[in-house]
Structure 1
Amino acid sequence: MRIVPILTALVVVTVLFFLVFQREQLLNFAAGGDATSPPAEMAEPGETAASDATEASPTVETGTGVSVIAFRSTAREIDSAVLLRGRTEAARQVELMAETSGLVISEPLRKGMFVEAGQIMCRLDPGTREATLAEARARLAEAEAAAPQSGARVAEAQARLDEALINLNAADKLSEGGFASETRVASAKAAVEAARAGLVAAESGEASSAAAIQSAQAGVAAATREIERLEITAPFAGHLESDTAELGSLMQPGALCATIVQLDPLKLVGFVSELDVDNVNLGVLAGGRLANGQEVAGRVTFLSRAADPVTRTFRVEVEVANPDLTLRDGQTAEIVIAAEGRHAHLIPQSALTLNDEGALGVRIVGDGDITAFAAIELLRDTVDGVWVGGLPDEVGVIVRGQDYVSEGVPLSVTWQEPDA
């Protein structure tokens, strides 16, 4: 009952012996050669050289190559594109805050409503602000009424100064002729100094009157502005993202009244790497595909000049129309930005392979039907294949058997039309 395992073991040992210790003789026998040929070290010098030459190019000597399937590809001009992952973003969004304190006296507006620019969102109780404005206006009127009196006092002081100067001049003339005493001259000089002091005082009063007018005007403006702050209005048309402040609630400066977003137009926001940023230009066409399959189109309106310090990417904004407001803020989007066209080949994705250094490329049919490797650049992935760059304009791409040959191996090529 144990004879079968024993025979199996003997067969396995025999096969392993020939594969390990008699490999060359076994290969020669399989190729139809003389398995009893003497080894290289026992052959004549001329025979050794011939044997080495034979081992260096066995396929060339027999005139056969590795069978592969390839197709001839011609480069075509394609519109290149930069692919980004991003999101939708509202064109504008604002949180309306209170600038003054007071009780809300307006009925609240519910979130989701569409509001127009200038529409009142929250109205606050004016309290005593109307009285404050009236008081400021009264002070302004009082200051304006006192202004002419100040001007009259300045004119009167100037006239007194002029009169005192005339008297002083006359006293000096009379004193030179001996018709007036020194006492009269000194008295005239004292009158001039007193008139000048009166003029300075009158001018100071006029300046104080002007300052009072300006102060009263500032009070009126402040009271008016305080009343204007009682009504919080929408700066632009949009949708409410939150309810407005509830009736009767107390608002303090900085308290939230409402949040408004504008969704038309909408922005597609993405971040482009520093390797592709030079391929993006302002004003070029761009499109986006949302997670639900909806597609939109627009143009690039912004490209950041400064990279994000963490990711080293640059912000890109694409403005798209959203008249029916079907697009929402914060949706995931795949953004495609048009770039300068390039020459490329459309090849099956299965034709891609790696060389010994790990570079991505394709194996091609070189001159004399010899295998060659060409590194490629992936440009675009489609359902029909991949668009690649870096290849000559005319090239034979191996699509079957590329993983069984290496550079320099002769080929037996079967040409066919491309699958894509």
Structure 2
Amino acid sequence: MRLFSILTAILVAAGLYFLVLERDAVLDFAGATPGVIGAEADDQPGAPTGIAVVAMASKAQPIETAVVVRGQTEAARQVAVRAETTGKVVSDPLRKGAFVSEGDLLCSLDPGTRAVSLAEAKANLAQAEAAGPEAQARIAEAEARLVEAQINQNAASRLSEDGFASQTRVASSDSAVEAANAAIEAAKSGLESAAARVQSAQAAVAAAETELERSEITAPFGGLLESDTAEIGALLQAGGLCATVIQLDPVKLVGFVPEIGVDRVEVGAPAQARLASGQTATGRVTFLSRAADPQTRTFRTEIEVPNADLKIRDGQTVEIAIQAEGQQAHLLPQSALTLNDEGDLGVRVAEENDLAQFYEVSILRDSPQGVFVTGLPESARVIVLGQEYVSDGTPVVVTLQEAAQ
């Protein structure tokens, strides 16, 4: 038995030697054509030689692409309405969840003496306004005296020239003119002072009116109450919280676009979104940041979405697909993808001269029919079977997939 095993081993070794090292001689002895690998030999000279592969004829086709980002919903506006003055709340509270319109009363504060202060300011204004006509009358009176003094001065000057009036009378008339001019200036100064008092009184009235208006705290815009308004009897200091109002129609979808996709996003581009609950929404991009987040190197983008039924809430997780410019891509089966020696993802193509060539590709998206890739010529014979057994420049015998089917 041992001798039989040794003889068997010797025969197997001899067979392997002739098949591997003396392959051409064995093929010649058997009448086969050496050099045909994976294809039938042809008795005619010039028969094609190479590795048999199966390829598919692929043409690039335009496809719509989208930049997909994850983010969350955000209220279009949200504000904490606070008191601008001090006072005790005298209105019944509104409960959270209630809808309020712009200008609706949220909190009413006890006006206290604010109404009295306003009445006093208005009285001072009326008094200041009454002083104006009186100052105008003084100016008119002073101007009349000036005219009279100028006439007397003119007469005294002429009489003095003819020797009929003394120098004392002339000096007296000059003094009267100067006094009249001084009276006019004083009257004008009084008018300016009266105008200043009017302006001051008007400012006091405006301040009193504003202080009285501050006792009524109203909604700055229409929306929902996110908290109860201040309870009746509560004392609100300046800056105290009356209520929080949020606006959810329209609602914002906020996402962060990575650097590789930011150039494909434009303001105004359509966008579709899917919430974690399964609800869908459509809108348009209204903002794209020009500055990247220093931590994530992503760019904030905002999409405005109608939300009339208020089904979309603030802070929900959302996946956003922003429509981008279409690209030319090839639809290939995933099995056609391979790696080259450097580890790059791509496919092998049978060139027109029937030589294999590796092309690095980028995957745009996948579908039930395969994957859409870029990086290939417009038309290509992509090897879908046998691509793992060829390298760049390897001769191939191509069988198109359509013919094989």
Could you state the TM-score of these two structures normalised by the residue count of structure 1?
Answer: 0.82
The structural deviation recorded for 1:86 is 2.1
Partner of 2:312: 327
1:130 CA displacement: 0.7
Answer yes or no: is the 8 Å Cα contact 1:26–1:35 preserved in 2: no
* TM superposition shift of 1:272: 2.5
* Distance across 2 between alignment mates of 1:372 and 1:27: 33
Residue 189 of structure 2 corresponds to 204
CA distance change for structure 1 residues 311 and 178 in 2, over 3 Å: closer, same or farther?
farther
Kindly provide the amino acid, as one letter, of the partner of residue 29 in structure 1.
F
Aligned counterpart, 1:366: 351
State which of 151, 160, 163 in structure 1 corresponds to 2:136. 151
Equivalences for residues 144-183 of structure 1 within 5 A: 144-183=129-168
Q: Partner of 1:103 in structure 2?
A: 88
Residues 239 and 34 (structure 1), Cα distance of their counterparts in 2 relative to 1, 3 Å cut: closer
Q: Write out aligned runs for 1:181-196 (5 A).
A: 181-196=166-181
Q: Tell me, yes or no, if structure 1 residue 236 matches structure 2 residue 225.
A: no
Equivalents in 1 of 2:233, 2:387: separation in Å?
79
1:379, 1:389 within 8 Å by CA — same for their partners in 2? yes
Number of residue equivalences? 385
> CA offsets, 1:234-264, max 9 Å, x none?
1221111122122222212222211111111
Q: Aligned pair in 2 of structure 1 residues 35, 192: CA closer, same or farther (>3 Å)?
A: closer
Unaligned 5+ runs, structure 2: 27-33, 42-47
Partner of 2:20: 31
CA drift of 1:373 comes to: 0.7
Tell me if structure 2 keeps the 8 A contact 1:28–1:35.
no
TM superposition shift of 1:174 = 1.1
Q: Work out whether residues 29 and 35 of structure 1, in 8 Å CA contact, stay in contact via their aligned partners in 2.
A: no
Q: Give the deviation of 1:137 after TM superposition.
A: 0.9
2:124/2:201 contact within 8 Å kept: yes
- 1:256-294 Cα shifts (integer Å, max 9, x gaps): 211111111112222323443332223222111222222
SS in 1 for 2:312: coil
Distance 1:293 1:394 in 2: 40
1:385 CA displacement? 2.5
Q: Who is 2:365 aligned against?
A: 380
Judged with a 3 Å threshold, the aligned counterparts in structure 2 of structure 1 residues 259 and 67 are, in CA distance, closer, same or farther, namely: farther
CA contact (8 A) 2:36 2:49 kept: no
Instruction: Calculate the aligned-residue CA RMSD, in Å.
Output: 3.2
Aligned with 1:276: secondary structure? helix
Cα deviation for residue 58 of structure 1 reads 8.8
Contact 1:60 1:410 in 2 (8 A): no
Structure 2 residue 239 is matched with structure 1 residue 246: no
Distance in 2, matches of 1:369 and 1:185, equals 129
- Describe the SS at the equivalent of 1:340: strand
- Percent identical pairs in the alignment equals 59
The offset of 1:143, in angstroms, is 1.3
Task: Return the TM-score normalized by structure 2.
Answer: 0.85
Q: CA deviation at 1:28?
A: 4.9
Distance across 2 between alignment mates of 1:381 and 1:341: 15
The residue type paired with residue 30 of structure 1 is L
Q: Deviations over 1:77-103 (max 9, x none)?
A: 111222222222212222212111111
1:313 corresponds to 2:313: no
After superposition, the C-alpha distances for 1:39-70 in whole angstroms (9 at most, x for unaligned) are xxxxxxxxxxxxxxxx9x89599866445443
Unaligned 5+ runs, structure 1: 38-54
